[in-house]
């Protein structure tokens, strides 16, 4: 009897996978005898190799969005393969108990891998929270100081400014430097800063996503007992970082390490437990730390995705390797801009240009709409700059393949040749 094609609820997943990815090659044929009638399954979706960072399947675009942003293709495929039945549990991650043992194993593995990636010492807690990085603009002052305490903010872009404004509700923040009058194009020299000798913390935004300004080294708080706090939302896990320089690091996941809805906080344990009285339980680090981030309903699927990304980064050789790739990608894009004889321009001071977010303007700003339209035709999307800056912005996070940046650079050169 001829083999009957098998249709299961997974079939669309298998078919989709087969159609979509050039690196998935036909491999084997199974003969299944558990059914009353024998049938065979031709399995065409074995993942043979992780896709190289150079490659991208045909039916995906190059997504240059600032976040939520592109995710590693092999991570998406792994999630796809595990979506219907997570590791033999008979259910998806979205269906399992958010405090049950399976999910606990997921969050524990995610934490262990993140600790390995960033070399996070035991005396730091790692929290997976809801609410995005914006929630941390309030949580940080609520947890680290009392209403009358002074804290310092070094403002190198609009996210740092937003963090400062939120902190005003909960303590006495002081702006020690503000780059706004220069349109946020640099980080100041740390020598001349007038830091408060009694500030509980000094806050920086390690990478300003909108303006593309990135700290390459870090200031030391003016108060010897104060700590450095960093919003690392848009360069988290893009390079090695010495965690011990910071009292607290926070990062919304949706740029480099996962989907929106998860925010990661790495905080020195001795700073936990002194929250202001008005702190809602959902913002209190102690409650989250005591309950391994499971007290409030955790964003389970997001944490699972972050875990897959951390695993992938470790497989890539860790953050030293990731940084080399990011330097290469950013290097070719900045070079193309700088060598365009002014057709394209990046206003940011060279020493602090972001490896993640590359803002650039067109000398002939009337060509911007055409630039975006033509780029989209070549499957490069979300290149429009933030409305507060204008121009273009290419966000080239870890998961943006080198091929995406190469295609953008080649497009930019062609576009210039056409319009010069």
Choosing from 51, 67, 221, 307, the residue that interacts with ligand PMP (CB under 6 A) is 67
DSSP 8-state code for residue 384: B
Least gap, CB of 342 to ligand PMP (angstroms): 29
CA angle 62, 65, 69 (to 5 degrees): 85
Mapped onto helix, strand or coil, the DSSP state of residue 25 is strand
Listed ranges 102-110, 169-177, 229-237, 407-415: which one lies at the site for ligand PMP (CB under 6 A): 229-237
Least gap, CB of 161 to ligand PMP (angstroms): 11
Q: Which string of DSSP letters, residue by residue, matches 307-362?
A: HHHHHHHHHTT-HHHHHHHHHHHHHHHHHHHHTTTTSEE--S-GGGB-SSEEEEEE
Dihedral of alpha carbons 124, 128, 133, 134, sign: negative
Interaction between residue 184 and ligand PMP (CB under 6 A)? no
- Asked if 209 and 133 touch (Cβ cutoff 8 Å), the reply is no
Choosing from 20, 40, 80, 134, the residue that interacts with ligand PMP (CB under 6 A) is 134
Least gap, CB of 419 to ligand PMP (angstroms): 31
- CA dihedral of 156, 364, 375, 261, whole degrees rounded to 10: 20
Query: In the range 358-377, which residues lie near ligand PMP by CB under 6 A?
Result: none
Listed ranges 127-135, 326-334, 370-378, 407-415: which one lies at the site for ligand PMP (CB under 6 A): 127-135
Query: What does DSSP say about strands 150-155 and 201-205: parallel, antiparallel, or unpaired?
Result: parallel
Interaction between residue 382 and ligand PMP (CB under 6 A)? no
Least gap, CB of 210 to ligand PMP (angstroms): 7
Choose between 129 and 405: whose C-beta lies nearer to ligand PMP.
129
Per the listing, tokens 């320089």 go with 245
Listed ranges 3-11, 129-137, 147-155, 383-391: which one lies at the site for ligand PMP (CB under 6 A): 129-137
Least gap, CB of 290 to ligand PMP (angstroms): 24
Number of residues that bind ligand PMP (CB under 6 A): 11
Q: Please count the residues of the chain.
A: 420
Choose between 21 and 288: whose C-beta lies nearer to ligand PMP.
288
Which residues are registered as beta bridge partners of 250? 231, 265
Choose between 205 and 248: whose C-beta lies nearer to ligand PMP.
205
Choosing from 234, 256, 395, 398, the residue that interacts with ligand PMP (CB under 6 A) is 234
Residues marked active site are found at: 159, 231, 255
Query: In the range 242-261, which residues lie near ligand PMP by CB under 6 A?
Result: 252
Dihedral of alpha carbons 293, 264, 178, 202, sign: positive
Least gap, CB of 261 to ligand PMP (angstroms): 8
What is the C-alpha separation between 416 and 412, in angstroms, rounded?
6
What is the C-alpha separation between 193 and 155, in angstroms, rounded?
12
Q: How many CB atoms lie within 10 A of CB 219?
A: 21
Query: What does DSSP say about strands 248-252 and 62-63: parallel, antiparallel, or unpaired?
Result: unpaired
Least gap, CB of 104 to ligand PMP (angstroms): 25
Interaction between residue 133 and ligand PMP (CB under 6 A)? yes
What is the C-alpha separation between 32 and 250, in angstroms, rounded?
50
Query: What does DSSP say about strands 201-205 and 227-231: parallel, antiparallel, or unpaired?
Result: parallel
Interaction between residue 209 and ligand PMP (CB under 6 A)? yes
Choose between 67 and 302: whose C-beta lies nearer to ligand PMP.
67
- Asked if 313 and 117 touch (Cβ cutoff 8 Å), the reply is yes
- Asked if 306 and 379 touch (Cβ cutoff 8 Å), the reply is no
Interaction between residue 128 and ligand PMP (CB under 6 A)? no
Choosing from 205, 264, 313, 355, the residue that interacts with ligand PMP (CB under 6 A) is 205
Residues forming contacts to ligand PMP in the complex (CB under 6 A) are 67, 132-134, 159, 205, 209, 231, 233-234, 252
């Amino acid at each position: 009897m001829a083999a009957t094609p098998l249709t299961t609820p997974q079939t669309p997943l298998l078919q989709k996978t087969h159609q979509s990815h050039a690196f998935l090659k036909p491999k084997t044929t199974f003969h299944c005898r558990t059914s009353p009638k024998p049938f065979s399954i031709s399995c065409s979706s074995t993942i043979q190799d992780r896709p190289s960072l150079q490659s991208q399947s045909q039916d995906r675009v190059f997504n240059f969005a600032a976040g939520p942003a592109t995710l590693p293709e092999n991570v998406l495929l792994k999630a796809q393969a595990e979506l219907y039945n997570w590791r033999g549990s008979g259910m998806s991650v979205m269906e399992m108990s958010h405090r049950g043992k399976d999910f606990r194993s997921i969050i524990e593995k995610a934490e262990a891998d993140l600790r390995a990636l960033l070399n996070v010492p035991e005396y730091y807690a790692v929290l997976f929270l809801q609410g995005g990085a914006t929630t941390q603009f309030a949580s940080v002052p609520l947890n680290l100081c009392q209403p009358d305490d002074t804290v310092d903010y070094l403002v190198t872009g609009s996210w740092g400014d937003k963090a400062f404004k939120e902190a005003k509700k909960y303590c006495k923040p002081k702006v020690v430097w503000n780059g706004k009058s220069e349109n946020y194009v640099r980080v100041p020299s740390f020598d001349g800063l007038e830091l408060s000798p009694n500030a509980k913390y000094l806050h920086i935004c390690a990478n300003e996503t909108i303006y593309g300004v990135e700290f390459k080294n870090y200031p030391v708080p003016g108060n010897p007992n104060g700590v450095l706090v960093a919003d690392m939302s848009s360069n988290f896990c893009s390079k090695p970082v010495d965690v011990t320089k910071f009292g607290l690091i926070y990062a919304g996941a949706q740029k480099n390490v996962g989907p929106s809805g998860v925010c990661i906080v790495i905080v020195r344990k001795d700073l936990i437990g002194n929250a202001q009285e008005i702190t809602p339980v959902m913002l209190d680090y102690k409650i989250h730390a005591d309950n391994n981030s499971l007290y409030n309903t955790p964003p389970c699927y997001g944490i699972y995705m972050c875990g897959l990304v951390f695993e992938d980064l470790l497989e890539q050789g860790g953050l030293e390797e990731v940084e080399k790739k990011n330097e290469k990608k950013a290097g070719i894009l900045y070079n193309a801009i700088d060598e365009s004889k002014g057709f394209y321009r990046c206003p940011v001071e060279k020493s602090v240009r972001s490896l993640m977010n590359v803002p650039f303007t067109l000398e002939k700003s009337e060509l911007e709409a055409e630039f975006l339209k033509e780029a989209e035709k070549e499957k490069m999307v979300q290149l429009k700059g933030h409305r507060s800056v204008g121009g273009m912005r290419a966000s080239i996070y870890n998961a943006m393949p080198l091929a995406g940046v190469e295609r953008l650079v080649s497009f930019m050169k062609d576009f210039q040749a056409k319009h010069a």
